[in-house]
Amino acid sequence: MISGKFGEVKRCVERNTGGHFAAKFVPIASAEDRQSIQNEIAIMNKLRHPRLIQLYDAYAYKDEVVMVLELITGGELFERIIDESFDLNETRCIRFMSEILQGVEYIHAQGVIHLDLKVSV
């Protein structure tokens, strides 16, 4: 599906239920990497909000951690916005900003600061 600075994300299917999820494969090159991903998992486990991607499980395997996440389809918001055929009117803009800010407000209320918010890829 997507590769980035902090790993690769692939679509996966749970065999027993047929449920679709995203599997984020995060390489672990050092003890610092392992601690960082463990911290991320601990934070994600305590955050439950409809505007946040949910973590369902995590597995350590050799030199990587696999995080099983809620699957969000539809692509990147930024890609949709810059698409010339997409009508970004004021109402849509307000809705997008409101939904993003609801999630940010929630994590801040939980004492968490998101350090990777960005407007583009």
Report the catalytic residues: 116
Q: Where are the alpha helices (DSSP H) in 10-89?
A: 31-46, 77-82
Residue 37, number of CB atoms within 10 A of its CB: 21
Do the strands 2-4 and 7-13 form a parallel or antiparallel pair, or are they unpaired?
antiparallel
22 - beta bridge partners? 11, 69
CA-based nearest residue to 37, from 24, 20, 22 = 24
